[in-house]
Chains A and B, each alone.
Chain A
Amino acid sequence: MIRVSIVGGSGYAGGDLLRILLFHPQVEVCQVTSERHAGKMVSGVHPNLRKVSRLKFVAIDELENCDVLFLGLPHGQAMQRIEQFEALAPQLIDMSADFRLNDSDAYERWYGKPHLCAERLADYVYGIPELHRRQMSNAKRIASAGCNATATILALHPLAEAGLIDNAVVEVKAGSSQGGNSASDASHHPERSGAVRSYKPTGHRHVGEMIQELQCGNIHFSATSIEMVRGILATCHVFLNQSLEEKDIWKIYRAAYGSEPFIRIVKERTGIHRYPEPKLLAGSNYCDIGFEKDPHSNRLVVVSAIDNLMKGAAGQAVQAFNISHGIEETTGLEFPGLHPL
């Protein structure tokens, strides 16, 4: 068994990670930290885990050595204590943004402050398995990708790799769990309920990851909060630099993702579920991708959907963990979602 502990396990991503790992056949969950809830049952914070786990939260300073530390701390905190974490476990899988960008100048540009340990950035593999599976094998440091970035990068990567993108305008509709479990004025029920709120028309921090991974600077990204708890729907308007037919697009996506266990091309011609929908993916690790070519222009609309806490956080982190340990990639991640929901 691989002995795993979770740092920052009281958040939503940490809770989903714990839910997955408790049923993972090759994992023993040793400790889960929360400074705020230390000493309390994890099921008190994550009630879906009642009768599933009798673990209690501990403080970070009570952590013992283990094989793998998953870091689920708020952005900026992992890098502050990284030496402490490195001393506790040979493998670190960080779900925060601290080590996603491999360039310290890019980090400062997108996060507005210098990185505290820029010399370590090169040690981390960017955590989208579909792009970095080979580098993840035996990797000791993995930086799990951002949720909006995952939905966008997976939607656009086949086109970017083929050099087909002239410009891309991406609009993401995001659920409230993306904001974490800390209350704010914006999350107050009368304010949040029913909202269709443009919260980041430009300058979203995940754009740094998109540019890094797509190697394409012409990505224009906006995000809108909508009435949804889990899920992201990314609508990508891609202006192609050459004329392509839908058959050509099919070939490109089939070649890129045809054998990927967690990516499905969803493009039905009949019925009510013709294109990706985040609602159908709640709790699953799938990324569904669909597309339609505008017959009157060079615009290709690519639509992707994920559960932000799964393929956008905990699920993708476990997928990377599995790859790095030579475990079947889908282990612990087989849940196909619910219908209806």
Chain B
Amino acid sequence: MANCPVCDAEVEIAPDTVVGELMTCEDCGCELEVLTLEPVKLGEAPEAEEDWGE
């Protein structure tokens, strides 16, 4: 288990996870990247910027 850096939800880490793997937080939908495995550390995966009319 690790925690989402955005919403702090618990994110399940499979035993065969590798550094650089991408996963999605089920609570906030943030795309996450595995930064390190021992200990497991997650970071926000870079997202393509889009013009959303903001």
Contacts and interface: CB of A to CB of B under 8 A. Distances in A.
B12 interface: no
B7 A269 contact: no
A243 interface: no
B29 interface: yes
A254 interface: yes
* Highest count of chain B CB atoms <10 Å: which of A246, A251, A268, A270: A270
B8 interface: yes
Contact of A267 (B28, B31, B47): B28
A247 B47 contact: no
- Interface range on chain A: under 10, 10 to 19, 20 to 34, or 35 or more? 10 to 19
A268 B50 CA distance: 14
Nearest to A274: B52
Contacts of A267: 7, 28-29
Interface string B6-27: 1111000000000000000001
* Highest count of chain B CB atoms <10 Å: which of A246, A247, A251, A268: A247
A250 B9 contact: yes
B30 interface: yes
A56 to B, nearest CB: 49
A269 B9 contact: no
A250 B29 contact: no
Contacts, number: 31
* Highest count of chain B CB atoms <10 Å: which of A246, A268, A269: A269
A334 B46 CA distance: 36
B29 A269 contact: yes
A265 interface: yes
Interface in A87-113: none
A136 B31 CA distance: 40
Dominant SS among interface residues on chain B: loop
Interface in A247-276: 247, 250-251, 254, 265, 267-270, 272
A269 B47 contact: yes
B32 to A, nearest CB: 11
Dominant SS among interface residues on chain A: mixed
Interface string A260-295: 000001011110100000000000000000000000
Contacts of A247: 6-8
A250 B47 contact: no
A246 B6 CA distance: 8
A177 B52 CA distance: 31
Interface in A34-83: none
A269 B24 CA distance: 11
Given A269-B47, A270-B47, A250 B30 contact: no
A251 B10 CA distance: 11
Contact of A254 (B27, B30, B47): B27
Contact of A250 (B8, B50, B52): B8
Nearest to B5: A247
Interface in A211-265: 246-247, 250-251, 254, 265
Given A254-B7, A265-B27, 6 more contacts: A247-B6, A250-B7, A268-B29, A269-B6, A269-B28, A270-B47
